[in-house]
Structure 1
Amino acid sequence: MNPFVPRGVQQAPGPVASPDSGNYNNYPYLLQGETISSTSEFTLAPRSIEFDNLNEDEQVQVANAEDATVSATTNVAPGTDAELRLQSTDASSSFRLGNDVNISQDGSISTAYDLSGQEVGDIFDANFRVEGSSVDTSEGVVVESIDTGEEEETTNETDTDTDDGEDMDDGETEPADDGETNETTDDGESTDDGTPGFGAVVALIALIGAALLAVRRQN
């Protein structure tokens, strides 16, 4: 025990001599001069990108619009400096556009360009660059619009007639008013002479005839 250490204070153990080699232990794990090494194998995947909206020819389709969107997925770590460049190769008018892109946690990227001045069918290269180096280049084409695969919902509107259960047309027609008056006799029969006042003349003639007949019988 070290006589200079106050009583009650525990002294930390010091180097202990090895009985075999005469070396000292580096407390508490290794002998003095010993080293430990460990190895593990792992594989680094090369940086890559997979563009969306590819056609049958594996071309990147970009709409002819002011906000033409290019989207893709990459295995590059989120937060890494990345850029996506579009450069015409066979177009009505040449263009070269570049946007810095933000890589999300799931590896997706999306950015927009103004391609409203280009013509449908213009060909370009889409170059994905990371930290100043080119990762991959794919050919692209300007199209009229992007088919997202979603079906458009259409509503068929039909004109409906209000039906209150009443038939407005019972098939009967009202007779036209021709200005003639139908006379109804006491026996329920309806007579129509077609000439106003004609009935009174007939009645007067009948009376005259009856009077003449009476005079003749008196004579």
Structure 2
Amino acid sequence: MVVSPIAVLDIDGTLIDSNYQHALAWYRALRSVDAVYPVWRLHRLIGMGGDQLVTAVGGEELERRAGERAREQQGKEVDALIEEMTPLPGARDLLVAIKERGHRLVLASSAQQRHADIFLDKLDARDLADDWTTSADVEASKPAPDLLHTALKKLGAPPDASAVMVGDSVWDVEAAKRAGMPAIVVRSGGFGDDELREAGAVALYDTPGDLAKALDDTPLA
């Protein structure tokens, strides 16, 4: 019997158009703790979890001095921008197409609970997803594989279960690689095709809708 792989989908930036708002939210949050970085540098880190982003951009000293304050403020800045974050073209169509093919579907988000709830409602995804994660479910976020392992655990599946990741950033691809999953990527993360392929992406699509139409050509056939 052929077992359909589990579909593990990122939400932020993959299904919801939110990456550039997150970059701006991080800019404002870091500025509030006297740490100013160009927005383009912050954008390059979106998709990495907030528990790691502060150190990645400013080093251990910034993390020790202001990491928790910056993350708390970033959450507030996202609150102010979240109405501008909308589903990407064909996002819900992709979820429907995956379920119609018999895959179990888990949404692997590292967003704060209140933001994940809003995204689920924007996608009308609660009846489609078998389960989902939030930042409260893991100690280490992407590019660590913990979130993907937790996503499988939510479905009662072992860490080595057959699964496919769908994301939008090199950090998603790296997490998938560490978790032993092939990664399909949509270009909404703003990374170059060469970067994504070098990271290990097995296929690239402009939008979730484009991926939904091409599922038969992917590991989620």
On whether the aligned pair clears a TM of 0.5, the verdict is no
Q: Please state which structure has a larger fraction of its residues in helix.
A: 2
Larger relative contact order (Cα-Cα within 8 Å, sequence gap ≥ 6): 2
